[in-house]
Amino acid sequence: MQLGSTQIDDTYAEAFRMRYARLIVTAHDEHWLNAAADSTTGYATSVINCDAEAGVEAFIERDATPDGRPGAALMFFAFSNDALAKSVSNRVGQCIMTCPSTAVYNGMPGADEMIPLGKHVRFFGDGFQKSKQIGGIRYWRIPVMDGEFLVEESVGVAKGIAGGNFILQAVTREAALDAARASSAAIANIPGVITPFPGGVVRSGSKVGSRYKKLKASTNDEFCPGLRGRVETRLHPEANAAIEVVLDGVSEDAITAGMRAGIHAAAATAGVIAISAGNYGGTLGKFHFHLHELLSS
């Protein structure tokens, strides 16, 4: 298959089941909103060594947020509800409550399952915190130095998918970087999807396992141009740089839409010679996103 001058390999991305939570964060203005979002989703790229995978799903206009202020939807992915509850509470307490003017709301009203949030964070109020129930929802008001921090007692969780991916290959590193930015920007417009790595992409794509027993993952040597001739390569003969785009999403349809948008954006970038994907023969996850199928549908 070809998209313009870009070869699309006949392969698939292998993804796996995760749990996710969605928070709505608001703030006085975009400056403080971005500060809170950047801090909260920092060091949340891969559950290989992070407590969660997290990112900004979308920014929300004032007229669509619970309190009429600028907002952002943040998504967090982990392997279990317990892991999510710990990660989300810690990140909200450390990174949002500390950020001036912010408030936090449940971004999944009506979810079948809930995890505690304000129920845990409220103890920072040292007994001065107050609760109020509105419309069957309990909120906590925690006194802080710029006024109060408002946070919902619980937030919803649901089943999601992590590990959707594609690997763009370019004739130069500059072309790969341009394609990476274009892909990330295109995926940002797709609801229900995040790209948790820096700038939405990862240059240190990994494979399962390592020659070092303590490591769960190691460099994906088949896509490293510097290892040509030393290992079996999956790079296009003209490719001198590769970058992986990794997606987490609420459903198979969301991942498919995100991958499709990102691949089209990458293929439209000059110098992108091929696009592939990372899989491990079906041993890692049960969700397989075949590139030819998702581009043809």
> In this model, does residue 81 exceed pLDDT 90?
yes
Q: Which residues contact 266 (CB under 8 A, 6 or more apart)?
A: 6, 166, 168, 179, 180, 182, 183, 245, 272, 275
The residue ranking higher by pLDDT, 207 or 34, is: 34
Map out the domains of the chain as residue ranges: 2-15+160-296, 19-158
Query: What CATH fold (topology level) applies to the domain 2-15+160-296?
Result: Alpha-Beta Plaits (3.30.70)
Q: Are 152 and 106 in contact (CB under 8 A)?
A: yes
Chain-centroid distance, C-alpha 180: 15
Helix, strand, or coil here: 86? helix
For residue 126, give the nearest of 146, 115, 140 by alpha carbon: 140
Q: Which residue's entry shows tokens 């990476």?
A: 180
Percent of the chain with pLDDT over 70: 100
Query: What CATH fold (topology level) applies to the domain 19-158?
Result: Alpha-Beta Plaits (3.30.70)
Q: How far apart are CA 146 and CA 235, in angstroms?
A: 54
> In this model, does residue 245 exceed pLDDT 90?
yes
The residue ranking higher by pLDDT, 284 or 257, is: 257
What does the pLDDT look like over 3-47, one tens digit per residue?
Answer: 999 999 999 999 999 999 999 999 999 999 999 999 999 999 999
234 to each of 59, 113, 228, 246, how far by Cα in Å? 37, 42, 9, 18
147 to each of 72, 122, 126, 144, how far by Cα in Å? 21, 15, 15, 5
2-15+160-296 and 19-158 in the same fold: yes
